[in-house]
Amino acid sequence: MAATEHDRPKLMVFPPLLLLATIALAAVLQWLWPLGVLGGLGQRWRIPVGAALMLLGIVLTALGARTLVRRGTNVNPLRPALALATGGIFRWSRNPMYVAGGPLMLGLAIAFGIDWLLVLMIPSGLLLHFGIVRREERYLTGKFGEEYRRYCAAVPRYVPGVAPGHHQQT
């Protein structure tokens, strides 16, 4: 497949926009209808735990982006995949940059007491899975064929150790 304007996955939403929209909606809902669960917990532990989780999300994203750049492919999923990244952090997860959104949002929720962010992570995660990840997988299978299928069989979609033996792109 040549690198043309049609050579890209047909995503439902740009991934960083999904993350930002989820955070923004959670903040608005928290302001309008605070649930008061996380805010009732002590800031003494909430802030360092939240900051550590946010840092983990940022580091995972940076490692993923660095690996993609070193492999010579686009970081932006709206651009064509020029090479299949299977090294670096991509040896442990096929989607480390998307996985990074979890600790990032969880950290924000804990540090700032945004209960709604915990609630919205569920529909956001479903949209991520079905509207982004699964569509990228179809695109990468079409573009890289058997090489990508072998990679899927060897590396979990999201987190190592979850659903052992089930690494196929189902």
Q: What is the pLDDT of residues 115-165, one digit of tens each?
A: 999 999 999 999 999 999 999 999 999 999 999 999 999 999 998 776 544
Q: What is the pLDDT of residues 16-36, one digit of tens each?
A: 999 999 999 999 999 999 998
- 7 near 76, Cβ under 8 Å? no
Instruction: Return the pLDDT at 25.
Output: 98
Residue 170 confidence (pLDDT) above 80: no
Local confidence band at 1 (pLDDT 50, 70, 90 cut-offs): very low
Residue 53 confidence (pLDDT) above 70: yes
Instruction: Return the pLDDT at 163.
Output: 53
- Going by C-alpha positions, the residue among 94, 84, 65, 64 that lies closest to residue 160 is 94
Q: What is the pLDDT of residues 59-98, one digit of tens each?
A: 999 999 999 999 999 999 999 999 999 999 999 999 999 9
Residue 3 confidence (pLDDT) above 70: no
- Going by C-alpha positions, the residue among 88, 64, 87 that lies closest to residue 16 is 64
Instruction: Return the pLDDT at 6.
Output: 80
Enumerate the domain spans of the chain. Answer: 37-154
